[in-house]
Amino acid sequence: MASSAADPDRVKPSSCSNPSRKVRIVAKIRGFTDQETESLNGDSAPWISVRKPNEDGSAEKTTVSFGDQSTRNGYEVDYCYEQNEDNSVIFSREIQPLISRVFDGQNVGIIAFGATGSGKTYTIQGTEEKQGLAALAFAEVLTMAEDNQKSVAISLYEVFQDHVYDLLDPTRSEVQAFVKSIPEFHKLYFAGCNSRRATKQVPFEKQRRSHKGLIIHIICTQGCSSTKLLGKINLVDLAGYEDARRKSVESLNLFDSSRVNKSLYALLNVVNALNANENRVPYRESRLTRMLQDSLGGRNRALVLICLNPLSCQDTIYATSLASRSLQGVNRVFTNTTMKTKTSAKPMVTKGRLGIASATSKKPTSSRAQFSEKTSSCPAKGRKLFDKGNQFMTSEQAKAPSNIASAMQSRFLPDVGSATEPSLQESVQEPEDSVSDSFPATLPTDEESSLRNAPGDAKPTEEKDVHLCSENKHSEVAANVDRNQKTLTYLEEGDNMEKENKILLINKDESPPLSARLRDLTNNLKSLYAATPIQMKIANETDTSSRGLVVSTDIVEPKTPVTQHAITAKDKWEVTTDTSSHDLVVYTDIVEPKTPVTQNALTAKDKWEVANCQSGTFNARSSGFKHSLVHDYLRFLNSASKEELKGIRGIGEKRASYILELREESPEPFKNLDDLKDIGLSAKQIKGMMKNVAGELFS
């Protein structure tokens, strides 16, 4: 039951929230079901209390509180819709004003978040009697798109177990026959949402929890030019938030539950980062956030609807607490510590630091408080290492974000060069990748034909399968263009993702197995060791054609050779002597592993003096060795697969994931030892790691 401290009509939503906030967070108390009304039998003790700003200044913010918490400050939200305010009220106040942005090429995300059974589906999808936000938005878009300059398409997807499934099967007759009316939309939408494309892979269908999203694409032609603006509304019905441990007892599906929650935490981390105006937004933490990347951030606007169960529900308290914190945008909350305390049996809602309510049974420990401060002051790196959201990260998550908008733009707009999507460009706060979504976008006939026939389209209209490989990435998305079906179809991403997962795990082409990589690394270093001037003879070959020769000083320090061994062509060392300079040219990249001929030239002391090393100033007797070791070690970090990274002492699951993430941002994030500090290693740890490498090589 819910009670309100103020008349909802007295305060307009826009007046009680920060207009610069990128993600608005509003709550909605679900209405009672018939069964609940019956069982309540007139007993109306309110479980949810809503406090709204009012003119007398007695309350400045909108807060919701639960049960006997009503005397406390509660959880802050931008606004709270009451039980009696239906979807049309939310639509007219929250969503309608955003739709015009979509016609300007911006993207909008509408995300329903809350505990299981809190009314998310009812709000987004609606019922046959009561329209949900999706249908209301679609109707509005259709009305606004009436002139021929705009076209509308839809796609329906499901994010389940970190895979994205297309819910609109293009072979189905109703998908083929879609003509853009509301009843047609309803039919398609409900059928799509209830379809089970991934059934075969899901042993416990009844326990399936997934995120479902509808994307309404709007393509506008600007005047007489061929420039197209692509905007979209992404309406997401998230899987219900559930206490993973409690649920696992019931459903014996802890992993699944944790995975869903992990994606929810990842989403809230993104919202938090956006509202805090952090430089770096952690979109890559989950498939869900990558799906939503181009609807969140930049000029785009998003709305998170926290759906509240009107009857006592612990998960509703947790969900509200988490979402409310992401309003603040300052206090990094999704730490392991938080999650542990959160799931305690009897959580007590307390008021945390900075006035932020926290659903924990304990006061924040000093260490957690310190960590929160540390992370908020250092938003970009380090912090994510310890976030809950990273706990179940898989290698697949190192992939690029999905982006159907860019896929549509690059594939189907008439002139790739002139097509613009400002929202997309601005929203990307992490490096943009070119992997595209692969669920279908059902387009109307006129749009499809105009896109296909438009000048500049490089692909012939007869072409059935258009394979597009991004320049920078290795992903491939196939688009199936079928004139007769009147649909544009992206091949199902789920099919490819399996393969991609395997590729990423095995990494056959780009990264040999760990043993091979380590062997190479060791061999290279051994070769360098063997090739150091104190052990090898520099052949006195003269290359008369070569002038101005170069010494690769970071590999070999010119020293007087101690022992004289001839270097043959087989050694693949190209050592030349310039008669004028007597400098050496050493092409280290063609070094082949070679058993050192002389092993006794170096004493242990000569080999490595690492005892006093500082990070970034690794101190070895031979700077050649030092540099080559560091160089190869860093190169390994810059290129190894996740599994390989995990094989290195000091690098576990989280660090390996984080390294992959850094590599997505910059191809070579590790340029010197100091860069290892970015993955949370102390100078002492770096020293230890280098010692280990050195020890392994020369023990």
Q: Where is the binding site for ATP, in residues?
A: 114-121
The answer to whether 28 and 307 are in contact (CB under 8 A) is: yes
Based on the shown chain and the rule CB under 6 A, indicate whether residue 33 belongs to the binding site for ligand ATP: yes
Please tell me the distance from the alpha carbon of residue 167 to that of residue 125, in angstroms, as a whole number. 14
Binding residues: 114-121
Q: Which stretch binds ligand ATP (CB under 6 A): 113-121, 264-272, 427-435, 620-628?
A: 113-121
Min dist CB 391 to ligand ATP, Å, is: 22
The answer to whether 425 and 405 are in contact (CB under 8 A) is: no
**29-57: burial string, b at 16+ Cβ within 10 Å, e else:** bbbbeeeeeeeeeeeeeebbbbbbbeeee
Q: Which stretch binds ligand ATP (CB under 6 A): 116-124, 424-432, 469-477, 543-551?
A: 116-124
Nearer to ligand ATP, 121 or 576 (CB): 121
Which position among 137, 220, 276, 307 is part of the footprint of ligand ATP (CB under 6 A)? Answer: 307
Based on the shown chain and the rule CB under 6 A, indicate whether residue 132 belongs to the binding site for ligand ATP: no
Nearer to ligand ATP, 247 or 631 (CB): 247
Based on the shown chain and the rule CB under 6 A, indicate whether residue 114 belongs to the binding site for ligand ATP: yes
Contacts (Cβ under 8 Å, ≥6 apart) of 666: none
Task: Please report where in the chains the tokens 């945008």 appear, as a residue.
Answer: 329
Min dist CB 124 to ligand ATP, Å, is: 8
Min dist CB 83 to ligand ATP, Å, is: 7
The answer to whether 64 and 27 are in contact (CB under 8 A) is: yes
The helix/strand/coil state of 495 is: helix
Please tell me the distance from the alpha carbon of residue 658 to that of residue 655, in angstroms, as a whole number. 5
Sign of dihedral through CA atoms 615, 616, 619, 624? positive
The answer to whether 74 and 64 are in contact (CB under 8 A) is: yes
Based on the shown chain and the rule CB under 6 A, indicate whether residue 118 belongs to the binding site for ligand ATP: yes
Which position among 22, 24, 30, 517 is part of the footprint of ligand ATP (CB under 6 A)? Answer: 30
Please tell me the distance from the alpha carbon of residue 328 to that of residue 642, in angstroms, as a whole number. 34
Count of residues engaged in binding ligand ATP, rule: CB under 6 A: 13
Nearer to ligand ATP, 3 or 522 (CB): 3
Q: Which stretch binds ligand ATP (CB under 6 A): 30-38, 383-391, 491-499, 506-514?
A: 30-38
Based on the shown chain and the rule CB under 6 A, indicate whether residue 420 belongs to the binding site for ligand ATP: no
Q: Which stretch binds ligand ATP (CB under 6 A): 112-120, 144-152, 521-529, 667-675?
A: 112-120
The answer to whether 132 and 122 are in contact (CB under 8 A) is: yes
Residues 216-255 contacting ligand ATP, CB under 6 A: 240
Nearer to ligand ATP, 118 or 615 (CB): 118
Which position among 105, 109, 119, 669 is part of the footprint of ligand ATP (CB under 6 A)? Answer: 119
Kindly state the tokens that stand for 25.
């967070």
Min dist CB 95 to ligand ATP, Å, is: 17
Min dist CB 678 to ligand ATP, Å, is: 38
- Residue 28, Cβ density class (10 Å: 0-12 exposed, 13-18 middle, ≥19 buried): buried
Nearer to ligand ATP, 30 or 388 (CB): 30
Nearer to ligand ATP, 33 or 227 (CB): 33
Nearer to ligand ATP, 117 or 364 (CB): 117
Kindly state the tokens that stand for 353.
């630091």
Based on the shown chain and the rule CB under 6 A, indicate whether residue 318 belongs to the binding site for ligand ATP: no
Nearer to ligand ATP, 36 or 457 (CB): 36
**126-143: burial string, b at 16+ Cβ within 10 Å, e else:** beeeebbbbbbbbebbbe
Which position among 54, 73, 116, 361 is part of the footprint of ligand ATP (CB under 6 A)? Answer: 116
Based on the shown chain and the rule CB under 6 A, indicate whether residue 207 belongs to the binding site for ligand ATP: no
Min dist CB 122 to ligand ATP, Å, is: 3
Please tell me the distance from the alpha carbon of residue 518 to that of residue 644, in angstroms, as a whole number. 9
Cα torsion at 544, 550, 553, 555 (round to 10°)? -70
Min dist CB 294 to ligand ATP, Å, is: 25
How many helices and strands in the chain, by DSSP H and E? 23, 17
Task: Please report where in the chains the tokens 């929650």 appear, as a residue.
Answer: 261
Phi, psi of 695, deg, nearest 5 = -65, -45
Which position among 8, 53, 105, 117 is part of the footprint of ligand ATP (CB under 6 A)? Answer: 117
Return residues touching ligand ATP (CB under 6 A): 30-31, 33, 114, 116-122, 240, 307
